[in-house]
Copies of this chain bind each other. A is one copy, B any other.
Amino acid sequence: MESASSAPGALPYYVALSQLLGLSVVAMTGAWLGVYRGGIAWESALQFNVHPLCMVIGLIFLQGDALLVYRVFRKEPKRTTKIVHGLLHVFAFVIALVGLVAVFDYHKKKGYQDLYSLHSWCGLLVFILYLVQWLVGFGFFLFPGASFSLRSRYRPQHVFLGAAIFLLSVGTALLGLKEALLFELGTRYSAFVPEGVLANALGLLLAGFAAVVLYILTRAAWQRPARAEEQALSMDFKTLTEGDSPGSQ
């Protein structure tokens, strides 16, 4: 996507900015739910509040950080980096699952209809794609079966789909935030009540976090440099037409 613009030395500052934004998003979601929505609990009406908090921690912050693993640990052995990447996604998924159960359980107790809104349709799509992406990624990159050439061809698709799922997660969060505001505030929203202003700021922070994560991901100079032995394998591969896996690194 780019040539030699971003100096490698600037990467830590962008990573720090992404963490500052990501943690601000989590903290502000907690503050919103604590100050204006009565806090968090598994019983009573507060069970709903588990949903936004878990989704923001799992599908926004942890998912975003999982994408950055290959940039942050760009000098570590590839296998370690892969495992950290895969594990972060597992944590993200499990936390998001708690958030999903919370909202379905809350709807059931209240007798509300499920899955009618655009937010819920997008959220369901995120969940399905996330699970498929994880399983296919595991099969190709961590399970020892896939050949080197197959991995090379699948990698760019995996990276693109990962970024797309992350962006759809952020979009879904924005839709959910808006829904929660309009349901609760109604016409008071247009009177610039503090909750509305806080939630709008949270929405902009969410978009900012996504933008910085995406910026870091798309800088060519910040990509993980292939180490000597990986480079050798990849050279070997280029001389063969269809090479078998030369053993996982």
Chain A interfacial positions (CB closer than 8 Å to B): 1-6, 112-113, 116-119, 121-122, 125, 152-153, 155-157, 159-160, 164, 167-168, 170-171, 174-175, 177-179, 181-183, 189-192, 196, 199-200, 203-204, 207, 211, 214-215, 217-220
Contacts and interface: CB of A to CB of B under 8 A. Distances in A.
Contacts of A4: 152
Nearest to A234: B3
B171 A214 contact: no
Contacts of A171: 170-171, 174, 207
A118 B175 contact: no
A129 to B, nearest CB: 11
A219 B121 CA distance: 28
Number of copies: 2
A157 B219 CA distance: 10
A118 B200 contact: yes
Contact of A189 (B2, B116, B168): B116
Kindly name the residue among A4, A122, A160 whose own CB sees the greatest number of chain B CB atoms within 10 A: A160
Contacts of A200: 117-118, 121
Instruction: Give me the 7 closest cross-chain CB pairs, A-B, nearest first.
Output: A2-B156, A113-B190, A118-B203, A5-B156, A118-B200, A182-B182, A116-B190
